[in-house]
Amino acid sequence: MEANTIGFDIAKTVFQVHRVNGSGEVFRERLRRDRVEKYFAALAPAVVIMEACGSAHYWARLLRGLGHETRLVPAKYVTPYVKRNKTDARDAEAIWEAGGRPNMRFVAVKSVEQQGERALHRVRDLLIRQRTQLGNCLRGLLAEMGVVAAQGAAGLGALVKLVETGEDARVPATLFETLRCLARQWRALDAEADALEARLKTAARADAMVQLLMSIPGVGPITAHAVKAAIGDGRQFRTARDFAAWVGLTPHEHASGLKRRSYGISRAGDPGLRRLLTLGASAHLRQMRAKPERMGPWLAGVLSRRPVRVATVAQAAKTARIIWAILTSGENYKGRPVAA
């Protein structure tokens, strides 16, 4: 552990400091939010260790501006070091202890621009989930009256239009009046989600690195932009497999003695990014199965041995590795040449 290190437990209003100086002396202090910046500005440069949780990136940037080195520890890696009878002081001590382990993995501090780009994806995902909830509610209530529509956006759009016009004798006028508020919200969410998607695509076209990522099969503008916003240049990962593991696309393993079992993917990391990569892989497999002559030997081998769903996840994991290679090297994607 370096001399003069600080375990910093952040919160909304009350913060806890666990500071150890070069002589090994321990100082424990509670700070109100308005005292944090003044407190650290008065300290000599130190290594400040925090849990990677809400607002951690903001505090990491602020403390770096004051001359300190900051490290963010994943929350689940701090838990084993928390002693019983949890308190803020013991949390700060656990953060300090975890951050000093020689093999500890840290979270890269995101810039303001990165967090702004990430917000675009998170807000869009939230709007889409809310739109889906409203659509399911409309479908369910109208189905009680015998009104059903085709699956997908087209069928739901037809139901929304029916609610707006109120032209169906099977549905009472009072129910139409009730459902129109849902239809208005659905229309508004649909428009906002489409506007955010357009912004994402515009930003993707303006970024040279995102354009390189889009040359990978199964990676579109939204996926490419999401990856760049999430990990930047990707150099916080030592290998391509480390990135795939962070996304949660590597197997979950359990080993004891001579027994070793490999289960499904770990599902660790960013679920939104994992979903985008899996959807892109699914679209790519659909195209390759329609045109087998364009399929590479690796994918053909996986499909011959395993079910399509397993092959889809395998393709997503491979895509994640290719993404990391392109991010860190800056080279163009070199796909397998298609036979004439």
Could you report the per-residue pLDDT of 133-165, keeping only the tens digit for each? 999 999 999 999 999 999 998 999 999 999 999
29, β-bridge pairs: 17
- What is the arithmetic mean of pLDDT over 127-133? 96
Mean pLDDT of 105-134: 95
Provide the Cα torsion 168, 171, 173, 178; round to 10°: -120
Mean pLDDT of the chain: 92
Residue 292 CA: distances (Å) to CA of 163, 285, 297, 329: 45, 10, 10, 31
Cα-based distances in Å from 202 to 31, 115, 230, 231, 245: 43, 18, 18, 20, 30
In angstroms, the CA 24 to CA 4 distance is 8
Q: Check pLDDT > 50 for residue 175.
A: yes
Residue 22 has pLDDT above 80, yes or no: no
The answer to whether 159 and 179 are in contact (CB under 8 A) is no
Spatial separation of the C-alpha atoms in residues 127 and 131, rounded to whole Å: 6
Question: For 5-99, CATH number?
Answer: 3.30.420.140
Q: Judging by DSSP bridges, how do beta strands 5-9 and 14-20 pair with one another? A: antiparallel
DSSP 335: P
**Choice among 146-150, 207-211, 274-278, 334-338 with the minimum mean pLDDT:** 334-338
pTM above 0.75, yes or no: yes
pLDDT above 80 for 236: yes
Cβ-based neighbours of 179, under 8 Å, separated by 6 or more = 138, 141, 142, 163
* Confidence class for position 269, pLDDT limits 50, 70, 90: confident
Q: Report how far residue 216's alpha carbon sits from residue 76's, in angstroms, rounded to the nearest whole number.
A: 33
| pLDDT attached to residue 336 | 61
User: Can you give the pLDDT at residue 260?
Assistant: 84
Q: Are 277 and 320 in contact (CB under 8 A)?
A: yes
Of 148-152, 179-183, 303-307, 332-336, the one with minimum mean pLDDT is 332-336
pLDDT of 278 higher than 80: yes
8-state DSSP, 33: G
Q: What is the pLDDT at residue 340?
A: 42
Higher pLDDT, 276 or 340: 276
Contact 105, 74 (CB under 8 A): yes
Domain ranges of the chain: 5-99, 112-205, 208-329
Whole-angstrom Cα distance, residue 301 to residue 289?
Answer: 13
- pLDDT for position 249: 94
What pLDDT does residue 3 have?
A: 62
Between residues 255 and 15, the one the model is more confident about: 15
Percent of residues, the chain, with pLDDT higher than 90: 84
What pLDDT is stored for residue 256 in this prediction? 85
